[in-house]
């Protein structure tokens, strides 16, 4: 993999991981549109490690509160940090089981199709727009209950289909329950921590077993670049949602999904020359 493709993948990952537009879909589309070799699931997951560091640093107060809350739980008590940690754990449980099944059954690889990505990008872009329009803005993160966390957790399962967007579907679920936009995004990003951590751990084991140091150096470079771009993307998204809506992201998804469908059914797909 050449240097400029590593940079491209890292920047794409950093920008798209926490925006509701599907990082996995964009990472699959990048080699397809540029005519380069698919980087594979291992590299896809490995570059998520950079974004993990970014979200933990941006939301460091919440992360420390959840860690401290864990020790509070051990004493038989509960505080806001412990409650948030329990909500994150509860919302993570559904996707762990289904995600493991997808991986061992081979379904994960079968879904890496540009046609699937096109339809999910378009369809869930419309769902995001509708949810944002009809959802009230009456709930804050501290108002969340077990049922709400579990509802978002089950919604996250859908994101196992590329193009759905993990952040997009969880923000959509939160908006349907009336959570304010910034709070919906905050919970979605905190929910990414255990997901990315688990996936990154599996990728790290695969890298170690492969013994390919060149690949390892490529991944480390991608992680560093994705960290920087993700940190910027998180900051911009949170500032945007404090004063505006998800409409621009929904429009982007609808245009991208529609464009991909035209590209697939109208032109048969294939590399785009100026991106190679």
Write out the two tokens for 1: 């993999």
Cβ burial, residue 240 (10 Å; 0-12/13-18/19+): middle
Per-position b or e across 157-189, b if 16+ CB within 10 A of its CB: bbbbbbbbbbbbbbbbbbbbbebbbbbbbbbbb
Please count the helices (runs of H) and the strands (runs of E) in the chain: 13, 0
DSSP state of 143: G
Q: What value, to the nearest 5°, has the Cα angle with vertex 96 and ends 13 and 18?
A: 25
CA atoms within 13 A on the CB side of 193: 23
CA 237 to chain centre: 14
pTM of the model: 0.90
* Residue 215: predicted pLDDT: 58
* Residue 267: predicted pLDDT: 72
Sequence-distant (≥ 6) Cβ neighbours of residue 264 within 8 angstroms: 114, 115, 118
Averaged pLDDT, groups of 10, the chain, 276 residues long: 79 92 85 67 70 96 95 90 96 91 79 91 98 96 96 96 95 98 98 87 66 64 89 98 97 95 79 50
* Residue 206: predicted pLDDT: 65
Cβ burial, residue 69 (10 Å; 0-12/13-18/19+): buried
Domain spans in the chain, listed from the N-terminal domain onward? 3-269
């Amino acid at each position: 993999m050449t240097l400029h493709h590593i940079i491209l993948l890292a920047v794409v990952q950093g920008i798209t991981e926490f925006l509701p537009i599907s990082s996995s879909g964009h990472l699959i589309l990048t080699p397809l549109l540029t005519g380069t070799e698919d980087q594979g699931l291992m590299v896809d997951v490995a570059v998520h490690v950079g974004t993990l560091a970014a979200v933990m640093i941006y939301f460091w107060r919440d992360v420390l509160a959840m860690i401290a809350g864990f020790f509070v739980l051990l004493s038989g008590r509960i505080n806001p940090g412990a409650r948030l940690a329990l909500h994150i754990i509860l919302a993570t449980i559904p996707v762990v089981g289904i995600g493991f099944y997808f991986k061992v059954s081979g379904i994960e690889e079968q879904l890496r199709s540009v046609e699937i990505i096109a339809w999910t990008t378009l369809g869930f872009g419309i769902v995001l727009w509708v949810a944002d329009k009809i959802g009230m803005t009456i709930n804050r993160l501290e108002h969340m209950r077990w049922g709400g966390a579990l509802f978002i957790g089950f919604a996250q399962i859908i994101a196992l289909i590329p193009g759905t967007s993990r952040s997009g579907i969880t923000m959509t679920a939160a908006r349907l329950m009336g959570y304010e936009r910034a709070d919906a995004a905050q919970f979605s990003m905190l929910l990414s921590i255990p997901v990315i951590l688990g996936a990154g751990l599996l990728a790290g084991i695969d890298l170690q077993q492969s013994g390919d140091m060149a690949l390892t150096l490529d991944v480390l470079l991608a992680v560093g670049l994705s960290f920087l771009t993700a940190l910027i993307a998180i900051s911009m998204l949170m500032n945007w949602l404090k004063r505006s809506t998800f409409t621009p992201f929904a429009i982007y998804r609808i245009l991208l999904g529609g464009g991909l469908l035209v590209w697939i059914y109208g032109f048969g797909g294939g590399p785009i020359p100026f991106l190679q």
